[in-house]
A and B are shown apart, each in its own frame.
Chain A
Amino acid sequence: MSTETTPALEMVDVSRIHGRGDAAVHALRGLHLTVLPGELVAVMGPSGSGKSTLLNLAGGLDQATAGKVRVAGEELGSLSKGALAALRRRKVGYVFQDYNLIPSLTAVENIALPLELDRVRTREALAQARAALAEVGLEGLDDRFPDDLSGGQQQRVAIARAVVGDRGLILADEPTGALDSQTGEQVLALLRARCDLGASALLVTHEARHAGWADRVVFLRDGAVVDEAGSAVTPAAFLAGRP
Chain B
Amino acid sequence: MHTQYMSIRHGLLALLEREPMYGYQLRTEFDTATGSTWPLNVGQVYTTLARLERDGLVAAGEQDDDGKVRYAITDAGRAELREWFGTPVEATDRPRDELAIKLALAVTVPGVDVASVVQRQRASTMTSMQDLTRLKRSGDPSLSWSLVLDAMRFQLEAELRWLDHCETVLTRTGAPR
Chain A residues with CB under 8 A of B132: 212
Question: Quick one: given A192-B137, A214-B130, A229-B130, are A208 and B156 in contact (CB under 8 Å)?
Answer: yes
Taken residue by residue from 108 to 149, chain B's Cβ proximity to chain A (1 for < 8 Å, 0 otherwise) reads as 000000000001001110110110110001000000000000
* A189–B134 CA distance with the chains assembled, in angstroms: 11
- On chain A, the number of residues with a Cβ less than 8 Å from chain B's Cβ atoms is 18
A238 interface residue (CB < 8 Å to B): no
- Secondary structure at the A interface, as helix, strand, loop or mixed, is mixed
| CB <8 Å contact, B130 and A227 | no
Per the 8 Å Cβ criterion, residues 139-197 of A in contact with B are 189, 192
Chain A residue, CB-CB nearest to B129: A212
What is the size category of the interface that chain B forms with chain A?
Answer: 20 to 34
Chain B: residues with CB nearer than 8 A to chain A? 119, 122-124, 126-127, 129-130, 132-133, 137, 153-154, 156-157, 160-161, 164, 167-168
24 A-B contacts (beta carbon < 8 Å): A46-B164, A189-B137, A207-B157, A208-B129, A209-B133, A209-B156, A212-B126, A212-B129, A212-B130, A212-B153, A213-B133, A215-B130, A217-B126, A217-B130, A219-B119, A219-B122, A219-B123, A227-B119, A228-B123, A229-B122, A229-B124, A229-B127, A230-B127, A230-B130
Chain A: residues with CB nearer than 8 A to chain B? 46, 189, 192, 207-209, 211-215, 217, 219, 226-230
